[in-house]
Structure 1
Amino acid sequence: MFVRMSVVVLLALVLSACGDASTVGNEAVSRSLKPADAELASIYNRSCRSCHTVAGTGSPLTGDKIAWAPRMAKGINTLLDNVVNGYGGMPPLGLCMDCDADQFEALIVFMATGQ
Structure 2
Amino acid sequence: MPVTKRLGSTLACAMLGLAAGCSDGGSSASNPLEIASRDLVPADGQLAGVYNRSCRNCHTIAATGAPLTGDTNVWEARLAKGMDTLVDSVVNGYGGMPPFGMCMDCDAQQFEDLIAFMAEGR
Task: In structure 2, give the amino acid aligned to 1:103.
Answer: Q
Q: 1:90 deviation in Å?
A: 0.5
**Which stretches in structure 1 are left out of the alignment for 5+ residues?**
1-19
Q: Distance in 1 between matches of 2:80 and 2:118?
A: 14
Matches within 5 A, 1:1-115: 24-115=31-122
Q: Deviations over 1:13-41 (max 9, x none)?
A: xxxxxxx78x6111110000000000000
Q: Distance in 1 between matches of 2:31 and 2:38?
A: 11
Q: 1:64 deviation in Å?
A: 0.1
Please state which structure has a larger fraction of its residues in helix. 1
* Aligned-pair Cα RMSD in Å: 1.3
Task: In structure 1, give the amino acid aligned to 2:100.
Answer: L
Q: 1:97 deviation in Å?
A: 0.3
Between the two proteins, the alignment pairs up a number of residues equal to 95
Point out 4+ residue stretches in structure 1 off by more than 6 angstroms: none
Task: In structure 1, give the amino acid aligned to 2:33.
Answer: N
Q: TM-score, normalised by structure 2?
A: 0.75
Percent same amino acid among aligned pairs? 64
Q: TM-score, normalised by structure 1?
A: 0.80
Q: Distance in 1 between matches of 2:75 and 2:38?
A: 16
| Corresponding residue of 2:22 | none
Q: Distance in 2 between matches of 1:92 and 1:103?
A: 15
Q: Distance in 2 between matches of 1:24 and 1:69?
A: 19
Q: Distance in 2 between matches of 1:67 and 1:49?
A: 17
SS of 2:116's partner is: helix
